[in-house]
Amino acid sequence: MTAEAPLAAVRAELRPEFHQFAVGTGDVLTAAHQLSERRSGSGQATSSDTCVLFTLQAGTADVRLTVEVWAEAPAPLPAPTRRFTGALSADGELLQIVSMAPSPNDPALVLPGARDYSVAAYLTEVSRDYDDVFDLDVRTEHWLVRLW
C-alpha cells in the first residue's frame, strides 16, 4: 500500500557549479567531493551512506528540484527520462540540498527522524531555454527525489 501524499516537501532552483549538486545529511560537501572523485560520468548519480551526488551533462544547466519525504514507499513514476535508486542513512534530521559551491540560500528539509531511508530520484523532464542576459542556451533538468 502506498501513501497518498508526502509528509514534507521542498522545491529548489539551482544553477549547479561544476555540473553537480548533492542531497544528504551531515557533512554533505565533504561526502560529495569524495563521491565526485569516483563518479562514473555525466548524467549519473552516485551515493555514499549519507549523500547522493548528481552529475549533470556538460553545458550550462539549471535544476528544478523537488524533494519529498514519504511515510512509506510511493508509487513509482511512469517512464522517467532517468532513474536512480539507493539508500541514505540520515545521521541528523536536516536534509541538505547543495551545489558544489554552496550558498547560504541552499534549501534544507527537516526529516521525521535520524534513520535509514530508501531513495528514488527521477529526471522527469529536460528542456532548453535561451538566457538573453548571458547570451547562451541553458538546459533545464527537472528532478524529483523521494525518500521514505
pLDDT band, very low/low/confident/very high, at 102 (cuts 50, 70, 90): confident
Of 46, 34, 11, 38, the C-alpha closest to 145 is: 11
- For 55-99, the pLDDT digits (tens) are 888 888 899 999 999 999 999 888 777 889 999 999 888 999 998
What is the H or E stretch that residue 21 is in? strand 20-24
Q: Could you report the per-residue pLDDT of 72-82, keeping only the tens digit for each?
A: 999 988 877 78
Residue 16 clears pLDDT 60, i.e. is over it: yes
Residues of the chain with pLDDT > 90: what percent? 51
Q: Please state, in angstroms and as integers, the Cα–Cα distance from residue 124 to each residue in 26, 34, 91, 115, following that order.
A: 27, 27, 29, 27
42 confidence band (pLDDT: 50, 70, 90): low
> What domains appear along the chain, each with residue ranges and CATH number?
8-147 (2.60.34.30)
In terms of residues, how long is the chain?
Answer: 148
